[in-house]
Amino acid sequence: MFKPQEIIVESGSERSPIFRNLKRAFPEIPFTFADEVRDNEATRSMRDAFGEGKRKLLLARHRGEFLKKCPGSDGQVCCNYFVINFASNCPMDCSYCYLQEYLADNPVLKVFSNVDDLLREADALFSRQRKFFFRIGTGEITDSLALDPYIGFCAEVIPFFAEQPNVLLELKTKSDCVEGLLKLDPKERVVVSWSMNPQKVIDADEHGTASLDERLAAARRCQAAGYKLGFHFDPIVEYAGWEEDYRDLVEKVFAAVDHRRIAWISMGVLRTTPGLKRAMRSRFPASRLPAGEQVLCPDGKMRYFQPLRVGMYRKMLGWIRAASPIVFVYLCMESKEVWEQVFGFVPACEKELGQAIGQQAVGGRL
C-alpha cells in the first residue's frame, strides 16, 4: 500500500484527471502547490536522497517527448522496443534497481499530468507509420502498475491503445495492482507482464513488491479479463540452490496460467555497474547481491562470467521448453555470442527480433 508523505502539484496540473484521482485516493495527505518545482531541491541534502524521493509525489507536466526508442545497451542484441515515460521512479525499492544510479540526481517520484499530450503524440506517430509494428512499454523508469490504483493512468490510455492496429502495449510490473485493468477491453493489444523471481529473492531484494503468489494470482485475473501475459525472468540471480528455486518458479508460472496466452518470456541475469554496486552497498548493506563475482562487459555493465550465464540460460530454457514448446523466449541485453550459444542462432537485426516477438504475440497477424 503506497502512501506518500506529501504530494506536490505543479501549477496547471490541478486540472488533470490524475490530480482528481490522487485527491480521491489520498484525502488525508497534504497537497502543496508550486509554480515551478525543481524536483531535486527537496532531497539534495538528505543522506538517502533516492529513498526519500520515493516518499514524496510530484505531479507535473512532462516537457519534451513521451515516446522514445529503448536505449538498449551498447553492442548487445536489441529487440526494437519503444518506451513511454508516464512517471519517474517507483514506490517499491528493489536492492538491484538501476534507477538508484540513473535517477541519482533526479530522485523524486514523479507522475506526469499531461496524458492528453502523450496520446496526441502517440496517435501522430502510429498514424504516420502504419506499416511499422510498435512494441511499447511503460516500465522503463517506473513500474507500470504500482501507482495505478491512485492515478488511474491505465484507464486513460488502454482504450486508445486497444484501438491501434500496429501497436502492442506492455505493462510491466512487480505489483499485483491490476484492479483498474479488469473492466477494460484490451482487444488483444495489451500485454501485462511480471518480473519473476523465487520468493527467496523477493524477500531478500525486492522490497515492497507483491509476493510470488500475489503476482501469479494477478496474472490469472488479467488472463481471465482478456489480456495477454508476459514473464521476465530478470534478474536471474546465481546462489547455492538457484537451480531448484528457478525450476520450481518456472513450473509455478506454467501451472498458474495458460501458456497459449503468454506473448513472450525474457531472460536476463543480474546486471550491475560499479556505481550501482556502491548504491546497493550503501542502501542495502544486508543484500548479498553485490558480493557475487561479476565481470565487466563491453557495454560497461557487469554480469556473471559468460560460461556461467550461458549455462544458467540453457537450464532456464530447458525448463521453459519442457512446460511449453511454443512460447516465445528471448534474452534481454545479451551479446550475439550468448544468443548463439543459448539458442543456436542470432537474430539478423533488431528489426527482425522486434517483428518476431510482435508476430508471436498477435498470432502471426502483423
Give CA 152 to chain center in angstroms. 18
Quote the CA–CA distance of 13 and 86 in Å, as a whole number: 14
Contact segment (CB under 6 A) with ligand SF4 among 15-23, 85-93, 220-228, 327-335 equals 85-93
Q: Say how far apart CA 184 and CA 180 lie, in whole Å.
A: 8
Query: Shortest approach of ligand SF4 to residue 302 CB, angstroms?
Result: 17
| Residue among 159 and 208 whose Cβ is closer to ligand SF4 | 208
The CB-of-44 to ligand SF4 minimum distance in angstroms stands at: 21
Q: How far is the CB of 21 from ligand SF4 (least distance, A)?
A: 20
Task: Kindly provide the b/e burial profile for residues 35-48, where b requires at least 16 CB atoms within 10 angstroms of the residue's own CB.
Answer: eebebeebbeeeee
Shortest spacing between CB 96 and ligand SF4, in angstroms = 7
Question: Closest CB to ligand SF4 among 97 and 276?
Answer: 97
Contact pattern for ligand SF4 over residues 328 through 357, marking x by CB under 6 A: ------------------------------
By the rule CB under 6 A, 279 interacts with ligand SF4: no
Interface residue with ligand SF4, options 42, 57, 87, 97 (CB under 6 A): 97
Q: Which amino acid belongs to residue 220?
A: R
CB of 21 or CB of 142, closer to ligand SF4: 142
State yes or no: residue 99 binds ligand SF4 (CB under 6 A). Answer: yes
Record the cell numbers describing residue 336, joined without a space.
550475439
Considering only 52, 143, 148, 205, the residue that binds ligand SF4 (CB under 6 A) is: 143
Element (H, E) at 221: helix 212-224
Site for ligand SF4 in 162-221 (CB under 6 A): 174, 209
Locate the DSSP E strands across the chain. 6-10, 31-34, 56-60, 67-69, 82-84, 87-88, 93-94, 110-112, 134-137, 167-173, 190-195, 206-207, 228-236, 262-269, 295-296, 302-303, 329-331
Stretch that binds ligand SF4, among 75-83, 92-100, 153-161, 281-289 (CB under 6 A): 92-100
Residue owning grid cell 485516493: 25
DSSP assignment, residue 302?
E
**What's the min distance (Å) between Cβ of 129 and ligand SF4?**
29
Taking CB under 6 A as the binding criterion, the range among 87-95, 108-116, 269-277, 328-336 that sits at the site for ligand SF4 is 87-95
User: How many chain residues touch ligand SF4 (CB under 6 A)?
Assistant: 10
Least distance to ligand SF4, CB of residue 18, Å? 19
| Residue nearer to ligand SF4 on the CB measure, 107 or 358 | 107
Distance of closest approach, residue 234 Cβ to ligand SF4, in angstroms: 10
Confirm or reject binding of residue 90 to ligand SF4 (CB under 6 A). Answer: yes
Among 42, 59, 92, 263, binds ligand SF4 (CB under 6 A): 92
Could you say which of 42, 78, 83, 94 contacts ligand SF4 (CB under 6 A)? 94
CB 111 within 8 A of CB 18: yes
Q: What residues contact 120, with CB distance under 8 A and at least 6 apart?
A: none
Q: Name the residue among 49, 54, 57, 60 with its Cα closest to residue 29.
A: 57
Residue by residue, what is the 3-state secondary structure of 136-194? EECCCCCCCCCCHHHHCHHHHHHHHHHCCCCEEEEEEECCCCCHHHCCCCCCCCEEEEE
Candidates 52, 93, 148, 176; binder of ligand SF4 (CB under 6 A) is 93
- CA proximity to 186, closest of 157, 212, 148, 158: 158
The rounded distance, in Å, linking the Cα atoms of 105 and 39 is 9
**CB 18 within 8 Å of CB 59:** yes
Binding segment toward ligand SF4, per CB under 6 A, in 77-85, 91-99, 110-118, 346-354 = 91-99
Distance in angstroms (rounded) separating the CA atoms of residues 68 and 335 = 23
Interface contacts to ligand SF4, rule CB under 6 A: 90, 92-94, 97, 99, 142-143, 174, 209
